[in-house]
Chains A and B, each alone.
Chain A
Amino acid sequence: MNKNLYNENQTIEEIKNTFHTAEIKLQRESRIIVKLRSDLIPPFLSYAKNYLAFNHLAHFSCVDWIEDNEFELVYLLYSYEKNIVVIAKTRISRDKAEFVTIKHLWRQAETYEREIHEMFGINFTGNDRLNEFILEDWDDIPPMRRDFNTIQFAKDNFYTRPGREDAQDVRETITKKSGEKIPDFAKEFSVRNLK
C-alpha cells in the first residue's frame, strides 16, 4: 500500500513547534500519539481544535494503571480534513483524582466526563453535572477501578443459583471421554478455582 504520510508529518511538526515538551509518536497511518503533561492538555485540545482542525472529539477514555498509582486520560480527536486521529494522553495521580473539564470545547465531553467520574471517581472541576449517570445508589468504590473486585461483589450481594459450578466445567466431562488432560494453564480459568 502506498503510504503517503505528508499530513501526519506536517501535523507532528506543528504540534512539536508549539508544545516542545510533548512526546509525539506516529503509531501508524492516520494515528498520532501525543503524550503531554497534565497541565498542557486543555491548551493542547483547544489548539488542536481551533488551529489544526481537529474538531471531532471521537472518544474520551480513562485507563487505570494501578501499578503506577496513576490514571491515564486519553482524548481521541479526529480531523475530517486531514483524516488523522490524534490520541492525546496524560497521566494524573490516583490519590488526587482531579482534572479540568473540557466541556467548553465540546459539549458532548460532558457525557464522557460524567461516565468517567462515575466509573473511576475522577472529579472534573468546572463540570457541574457530575450526578448519577449509569449507576444508581452506588456506595462502593467506583467499579471500573482495578482494585474493585466484581466477582467478590457479585458473590456478596446477589444470590447465585446452586448448580452452576457443575454445569460450568464441561471440560472435565470432555477430557474424561477423550482421555486428554487439562493443561495446567487452563485450570487457572476453571470456575472452581475462582472461589
Chain B
Amino acid sequence: MREKETTLYFGPQHPGITGNMMVKLKVAGDTIVKAETHVGYLHRAFEKLMEQRTWMQSFPIVCRICVPEPDPNEENLARAVEEIEGREVPERAKYIRVMVLELSRLAAYFLWMGGQAGTAGLYTVPQWSVGDRDYILDLFEELTGGRIYHMYIWAGGVRRDLPGGFPDKVLRTMDYIESRLPEYDKLMFENAIFQKRAKGIGVIDKDKAMEWGVVGPPLRGCGIQHDVRKDEPYEVYDKLDFVVPTYEGGDIWARAMVRRKEMEQSISIIRQVIEKMPGGEYYNKVPNPLNWYVPPGETYVKTESARGEFGYYVVSDGSLKPRRIHVRGPAYVHGVSLLENILVGANISDVAMIMNSLGVCPPEIER
C-alpha cells in the first residue's frame, strides 16, 4: 500500500536548520520522497555592492559572506588582488595568514561540533565546544579587534603585526585545546548515540563524488584525498608538514572523523607556523585605497576552508572598483544539488544531521 505523501516545510524558522534557509520535504511516513532547497533569505547582493565599492572597501564585505569562518574569504580576495596586481607579500605576513586561517578553521570546527552533536541530541557538546571556541575568538579579538569579523587579511599582507607575547598565548591555547580533544572523543565521537545516528546515514557515492562537485571534508570522507592546501599550495603551506586525513564510507560518521583528525593537523600547523615565523615587515603598503587602480585582469583563486574549496573568480577592468567578484562557496553545491539528492530516502529526523555534516551555510549560497 502506498503511503500518503505530506509536504513539510523545514525552516526557515526551525531550530534544526543551519542558518536561514528552507528545505521543502515531501514525506511518505517518515521517509523523504523529495526534497527541494529554497534559499535567498540571506541575499544581501554582495556581488552587486562590491561593484559599487572600491577594492579596499570590498574587504569588509567579503568577510561577511561566510559567518562561521570569515577569514578564507579575505584571504581569497587578497590573493586575487595580489595576483592581478603582481604585488609581493612579505614572508612574515604569509605565516601570519596561515596562522589566522588555521585558527579560524579550528573555530569553525568547534562550532560545527556543537551543531552536529546538538542535532543528534547531545546537548552537552555545544555547551563545551562553543565555550572552547571562545578561547580562539579571544585570540582573534586581541589580534584583530573583532570576535567574528576580523578584516585582518588584506591585499599586501595583514593589517597589523602580532601584539607582544601573542605567539605564547596561541601556543597556550593550542595546548589547552589539544588536552580537550580526548574529552570530546569520549563525549561525542565514542558516544554510542552519536555513532548510531551517524554511521551509514547520508551516504555520498564515492564514484560520483568528484563529478557531483563535492569538496572538502565530505569528499575526504569518501576516501578521496584532495585538499587545496596540498594540490595548489598557497601562502606557505608547501613548507609545512601535515597530512590530509581521509576516511572511507562517505557517511556522516566519516565526515565527522575527517574533521576530528583535521583539528589535530591544524593544531600542529599552528605550532609549526609559530616556530618558523620570520621577522620583518608584515605589510607591503598599497597606494591610497581611494586612488588604487588595479590593472585589468582576471583570476580564479581558491582556499581550503573548513567546509572545502572556497573559490573566487575576480575580474578587474582597470578601474577603481572591481568589475566582477563571483564567489564559489562550498555550500553552494552541497546545499542545493547534493542535499536535494542525498536527502531522498533519508529519515526526517536525520535531515538536520545531514545538513550539518555537509556544512550547509546559506549566506555563501546566496551571498
- Check A-B contact in the complex, CB < 8 A: yes
Interface residues of A (CB under 8 A from B): 27-28, 30-31, 55-59, 61-64, 74, 76, 80, 83, 85, 87, 106-108, 110-111, 119, 132-136, 143-144, 146, 148, 150-151, 183, 185-186, 189
A186 to B291, CA, bound (A): 8
* Interface pair B290/A186, CB less than 8 Å apart: yes
- Which stretch from B41-49, B65-73, B249-257 is at the chain A interface? B41-49
* Interface pair B328/A59, CB less than 8 Å apart: yes
Q: Does B265 contact A (CB under 8 A)?
A: no
Q: Does B210 contact A (CB under 8 A)?
A: yes
Q: Does B211 contact A (CB under 8 A)?
A: yes
In the complex, besides A106-B211, A108-B336, 10 extra interface pairs with C-beta distance below 8 angstroms are A61-B324, A76-B300, A80-B231, A87-B298, A108-B333, A134-B43, A143-B45, A151-B52, A183-B291, A186-B291
A25 to B163, CA, bound (A): 44
Decide yes or no: A58 and B47 within 8 Å by CB, A108-B213, A134-B366 being known contacts. Answer: no
* Interface pair B311/A76, CB less than 8 Å apart: yes
Q: Out of A87, A134, A185, name the residue touching B300 (CB < 8 Å).
A: A87
A96 to B290, CA, bound (A): 37
Q: Out of B47, B300, B309, B315, name the residue touching A144 (CB < 8 Å).
A: B47
* Interface pair A189/B54, CB less than 8 Å apart: yes
Decide yes or no: A185 and B291 within 8 Å by CB, A30-B232, A135-B40 being known contacts. Answer: yes
A110 to B332, CA, bound (A): 11
When each residue 272-309 of chain B gets 1 if its CB lies under 8 Å from chain A and 0 otherwise, what string results?
A: 00000000000000000011000000111010000001
A108 to B232, CA, bound (A): 23
Decide yes or no: A108 and B212 within 8 Å by CB, A134-B43, A143-B48 being known contacts. Answer: yes
**Residues of the A chain whose Cβ atoms lie less than 8 Å from the Cβ of B302:** 58
Decide yes or no: A107 and B366 within 8 Å by CB, A83-B232, A134-B40, A189-B290 being known contacts. Answer: no
Q: Does B337 contact A (CB under 8 A)?
A: yes
Q: Does B338 contact A (CB under 8 A)?
A: yes
* Interface pair A59/B212, CB less than 8 Å apart: no
**Residues of the A chain whose Cβ atoms lie less than 8 Å from the Cβ of B54:** 189
In B198-235, which residues have CB < 8 Å from any A CB? 210-213, 224, 226, 231-232
**Residues of the A chain whose Cβ atoms lie less than 8 Å from the Cβ of B313:** 59, 61, 74, 76
**Which 3 A-B residue pairings sit nearest by Cβ, starting from the closest?**
A134-B40, A61-B326, A108-B337
Q: Out of A64, A87, A111, A151, name the residue touching B337 (CB < 8 Å).
A: A111
A80 to B341, CA, bound (A): 23
**Residues of the A chain whose Cβ atoms lie less than 8 Å from the Cβ of B47:** 119, 144
* Most chain A CB atoms below 10 A, which of B213, B226, B291, B298: B213
Decide yes or no: A55 and B211 within 8 Å by CB, A61-B324, A111-B336 being known contacts. Answer: yes
**Residues of the A chain whose Cβ atoms lie less than 8 Å from the Cβ of B332:** 111
Chain B nearest Cβ from A79, distance in angstroms: 10
A31 to B77, CA, bound (A): 17
* Interface pair B300/A133, CB less than 8 Å apart: no
Q: Does B323 contact A (CB under 8 A)?
A: yes
A57 to B43, CA, bound (A): 24
Q: Out of A28, A58, A150, A186, name the residue touching B311 (CB < 8 Å).
A: A58
A146 to B299, CA, bound (A): 20
Please report whether the interface of chain A is mostly helix, strand, loop or mixed according to DSSP. Answer: mixed
* Interface pair A110/B232, CB less than 8 Å apart: no
When each residue 2-41 of chain B gets 1 if its CB lies under 8 Å from chain A and 0 otherwise, what string results?
A: 0000000000000000000000000000000000000110
A155 to B83, CA, bound (A): 36
**Residues of the B chain whose Cβ atoms lie less than 8 Å from the Cβ of A110:** 337
Q: Out of B39, B45, B210, B333, name the residue touching A55 (CB < 8 Å).
A: B210
**Residues of the B chain whose Cβ atoms lie less than 8 Å from the Cβ of A133:** 39-40
A63 to B299, CA, bound (A): 13
Minimum CB distance partner of B367 in chain A? A134
* Interface pair B43/A135, CB less than 8 Å apart: yes
A93 to B365, CA, bound (A): 27
**Residues of the A chain whose Cβ atoms lie less than 8 Å from the Cβ of B311:** 58-59, 76
A76 to B336, CA, bound (A): 19
Decide yes or no: A58 and B328 within 8 Å by CB, A108-B212, A144-B48 being known contacts. Answer: yes
A4 to B123, CA, bound (A): 52
Decide yes or no: A56 and B290 within 8 Å by CB, A63-B315, A144-B48, A150-B52 being known contacts. Answer: no
Minimum CB distance partner of A61 in chain B? B326
* Interface pair B290/A63, CB less than 8 Å apart: no
**Residues of the A chain whose Cβ atoms lie less than 8 Å from the Cβ of B212:** 106-108
Decide yes or no: A106 and B39 within 8 Å by CB, A58-B328, A143-B45, A151-B52 being known contacts. Answer: no
**Residues of the A chain whose Cβ atoms lie less than 8 Å from the Cβ of B48:** 143-144, 148, 150
Chain A nearest Cβ from B311, distance in angstroms: 6
**Residues of the B chain whose Cβ atoms lie less than 8 Å from the Cβ of A146:** 51
A145 to B40, CA, bound (A): 18
**Residues of the A chain whose Cβ atoms lie less than 8 Å from the Cβ of B39:** 133-134
A114 to B31, CA, bound (A): 28
**Residues of the A chain whose Cβ atoms lie less than 8 Å from the Cβ of B300:** 31, 58-59, 76, 85, 87
Minimum CB distance partner of A148 in chain B? B48
A76 to B313, CA, bound (A): 9
Minimum CB distance partner of A105 in chain B? B211
